[in-house]
Amino acid sequence: MDEFSYRDGTLWCEQTELREVAEKFGTPTYVYSAATLVDHYVRFAKAFESINPLICFSAKALSNVHLLRLLAGQGAGIDTVSGGELHRALVAGVDPERIVLAGVGKSVDELRAAVRHDIRCINVESEAEVELLARVAREEDRRPRLAIRVNPDIAPDMRTPARTTTAIRGAKFGVDIERAAALFRAASTDEFLRAEGFHVHIGSPIFDPGVYATALDRILALTAGLEADGHSVTTLNVGGGFPAEYTEGSAPGWDDFAEAICPRLQGFVDRGGQVVFEPGRTIAANAGILLATVRYRKRAGDRELVVIDAGMTHIVRAAMYDSYHFMWPVTPVNGTVPRSRDQQSIDDLVDYDVVGPICESSDYLAKGRALPAMVSGDLIAIFSAGAYGMTMTSNYNSQLRPAEVLVRGGRADLIRRRETYDDLVALELLDGLTPPL
């Protein structure tokens, strides 16, 4: 699953003791396991090797340039959804031929950057965007490649949060499937555009492989109709949305998804087509944890609370999605280590509400969570934080964004320093001038 484990009563990442990481870099700090990140990417690619996809890791899940570079070294491309993420991918040294750009509201500048760098594909999401892309292409005298994002009107299973469901009718993403063929034909007639295929992303996380099968059946029918009319469709982007195990055994394996997806796409690949995937959380979630420190223990009515130095500005998923993150002290009392990450059938645990320092009632990381007794100064690890952890941090309450550390075996390297108070106001003190009174 990952390279985080308890040994001799304390938590390690690979061959690095996490107490030492906290002592050296402070808390809150994101810690990533290089071995886990690489292993998950390699095993994901292995599951789908029969259709030889271009695997573009989703930068919105985890965007540190050092980690993008690490994955690119394994052959990964990068899926971007903004000009900023495109810039990160380029800074990380990713070949533009392995970068795709999506996003429902791309600006002129974002499209222009994608066109100038001749990235692998721009996933367009409306008729108006195709028109704007064509204008930019003419101005730049370039011929960018594009795929049309299709909304196949498919509801995922009940475990996919409504806030991350993207492919039901009326959603802001993509083009209704009944309009997609006409838009593809129109884009194909523009001498400054190369219309290559279709993009579909259903939502995240998707736990039922059958949902992908249904979506692909609809996209392949769309493709077959265009090919019958003489159009060439050479790219099918299946998107991402593959789940991660936030509790053990809670998600199907990559082979289960490959079994539903690969047979449907084999004929397309055999005809010379390119399949693209955009996995994010499924690779990154369990490659990272958030280290935090207990500041206070307090009682509120009949509730026992521990107040830690990480809150919704440092990891927003619990407050935003009511998501579950396993957590446990780094060095628990009497070496009490968990038997699994979804059940703590251990004696002498305390039911805690784990809360952060943010001035918001929603700033809870867990409620009624059974944990070993903790006191001020104890370290706690929040697991499965590698995806949508650091990328969703903010400066709300003028909190400082945390540091990021990458562990390789017995070595821990700082890959993003912790923000300072000077960083908070740097963009407001223009030209070094003091604010007006």
For the annotated binding site, the residues are 241, 278-281, 317, 321, 360, 388
Distance CA 18, CA 7 (A): 11
Annotated binding site for pyridoxal 5'-phosphate: 241, 278-281, 388
162: left (phi over 0), alpha (psi -120 to 50) or beta: alpha
User: Max CA-CA distance within the chain?
Assistant: 71
Q: Are 292 and 379 in contact (CB under 8 A)?
A: yes
Structure letter (DSSP) for residue 79? E
What angle separates helix 254-270 from helix 34-47, to the nearest 10 degrees?
50
Q: Are 383 and 390 in contact (CB under 8 A)?
A: no
Show the tokens assigned to 376: 């001020």
Pairing of strands 16-17, 10-13: antiparallel
Residues present in the chain in total: 437
Q: Which CA distances in Å does 192 have to 174, 189, 301?
A: 22, 9, 67
Backbone phi, psi, residue 268, to 5°? -60, -45
Half-sphere exposure at residue 349, Cβ-oriented, CA atoms within 13 angstroms: 17
Structure letter (DSSP) for residue 394? -
* Catalytic residue list contains 262: no
Distance CA 111, CA 104 (A): 12
26: left (phi over 0), alpha (psi -120 to 50) or beta: left
Give the burial class of 4: count Cβ atoms within 10 A of its Cβ; 0-12 exposed, 13-18 middle, 19 or more buried: buried
**Residue 221 carries which side chain, given as an amino acid letter?**
A
Q: Which of 13, 56, 262, 359 is catalytic?
A: 359
Distance CA 352, CA 338 (A): 16
Residue with tokens 């959603």: 171
What angle separates helix 108-116 from helix 83-91, to the nearest 10 degrees?
30
Q: Where are the beta strands (DSSP E) in 152-234?
A: 175-176, 194-199
Residues known to be catalytic: 359
